[in-house]
Amino acid sequence: MSARALFDAALSAARDWYGSLPAAREFCDWPEDLVWADRAAFHLPAADLIASDPGQPNATSAPLMAALQTLVPYAEWRHNYTADEVGQDFLNRFCWCELAGPHGHFHSDSARLTVGYWGPGLYYPPHNHAPAELYTVVSGQALFHAEGEADLTLSPGDTRLHQPNQPHALTTTDHPVLTFVLWRGEGLGELMRLSA
């Protein structure tokens, strides 16, 4: 199967996952302006962990997890922090890619759909961004923190909403976490930034 076909299959699985989650459907419309962007692959060590140690899915999320695993060799995996900011161990076991959005494998100006992975025993410090964000957990488990709200432990099928510019953070303990994340609103092309 070609890389393009794998991305098409992953996008289809992501849409099915989106459709299964009332919180996702309420958060934003599925983007209808998707255009294949043919972005080059970029490998990061943490991407290999998505294939080998993604955490446990549930029955509904398993097809999306499997589809995302097929993208490991072909996706443009990214970091937007430095080792000085978050430590080298964090960078070795964290990565994300933009499936769809202003800089995604599928271009969209109406939404941003990203995949994020954190290995066990990591703390993702408080960060923020202008768009509102909905985390959905595909596999594994993590403790999600958001300023002004109670901490929540999320497992497959659970979601967490972050308002525009609301600082939020994440902690993994014994499990990794694989997430599918939706952004809406102004500033879809910006990067996450650590909160002051």
What's the burial of 191, exposed, middle or buried (CB within 10 Å: 0-12/13-18/19+)? exposed
Other CB atoms within a 10 A radius of the CB of residue 20 amount to 14
Residues of the chain with pLDDT under 70: 196
pLDDT of residue 144: 98
- On whether the CB atoms of residues 72 and 51 are closer than 8 A, the answer is yes
CATH code of the domain in which 50 resides: 2.60.120.10
What pLDDT digit, counting tens, does each position of 58-115 carry? 999 999 999 999 999 999 999 999 999 999 999 999 999 999 999 999 999 999 999 9
**Mean of pLDDT over the chain:** 96
Give the Å distances, CA to CA, from 22 to 28, 58, 85, 110, 182. Answer: 10, 16, 35, 19, 13
- Closest listed residue to residue 113, CA positions, set 133, 95, 92: 133
DSSP letter, residue 62: H
State how far the alpha carbon of 69 is from the alpha carbons of 44, 53, 59, 65, 66, in Å.
Answer: 14, 10, 16, 6, 5
For 135, the token pair is: 């985390």
pLDDT at 68: 98
Measured CA angle at 113 (ends 116, 142), to 5 deg? 30
Domain that holds residue 53: 3-194
- Strand locations in 17-155, DSSP E? 35-36, 94-101, 106-107, 112-118, 123-128, 132-140, 142-146, 152-154
Q: How many domains does the chain divide into?
A: 1
CA distance linking residue 26 with residue 57, whole number of Å: 23
